[in-house]
A = this chain, B = another copy of it.
Amino acid sequence: MAQSDTVTRILDTAEVLFAERGFAETSLRNITSKARVNLAAVNYHFGSKKALIQAVFSRYLDPFTQRFHTALDELEAQHEGRVIPLETLLETMATTVLAVPAERNSLKVFMRLLGLAYSQAQGHLRRHIQQEYGDVFTRFTELVRQATPDLPDAERFWRLHFMLGTVIFTLSGLDALRDIAEKDYHEQVTVRDLVRRLRPVVVAAMNAPLPPALEEGKYANAQAS
């Protein structure tokens, strides 16, 4: 009880502050004082600030990974070896991402954290994530490959990352963008709203015509539709 309480309070506070200000701008003092916990507790329970950062991510990514694997298992079972359509795959991923933090009403925090993981200079974090959670991403990528057999491998790689950028950038900067949108268009934007808007865009982007081929390494307008 006592332990769980302290550890949980630290994690809850840390994820919010990290999401708000980033890792470097959030001191252990900020976290522990807001969590009303002894300053040394972070080091006692987690060992270091780096380990705390990783723990914050694991609390989201562990259940996500598990659910996503399960969801993909089900999909594969349903399709009995047939190719799973791209839209189904994207839908499944979106659903799983949304499901994880649903109970804690903290999708925004999760997305901010993901964005930070990419943009902030935390090599240890990127390594940790790649190492712990790379498998499920590889599995997903392979299914996408089967769903888009006409796309050259390199093109698919880049388009997936284009879309990753779209999603992470949008969702992690959600607050600022939402403010503007509300001011200018009088919209109350929810995350589900955004997902609804994202779906056709992502599908269209993945299915866009191929770019003109390169001409002997340089650029020509020959097109390989």
Contacts and interface: CB of A to CB of B under 8 A. Distances in A.
Contact of A204 (B118, B184, B208): B208
A163 B202 CA distance: 10
Interface in A206-225: 207-212, 214, 219, 221
A196 B212 contact: yes
B185 A153 contact: yes
A165 interface: yes
Given A24-B25, A157-B185, A208 B212 contact: no
A173 interface: yes
Contact of A196 (B120, B176, B211): B211
A40 interface: no
Contact of A166 (B163, B173, B197, B204): B163
A193 interface: yes
A81 to B, nearest CB: 26
Contacts of A184: 153, 157
Contacts of A198: 162
A25 B120 CA distance: 9
Contacts of A208: 200-201, 203-205
A42 to B, nearest CB: 16
Contacts of A158: 170, 177, 181, 194, 197
Interface of A: 20-22, 24-25, 115-116, 118-121, 126, 153-155, 157-159, 161-170, 172-173, 176-177, 180-181, 184-185, 187, 192-194, 196-205, 207-212, 214, 219, 221
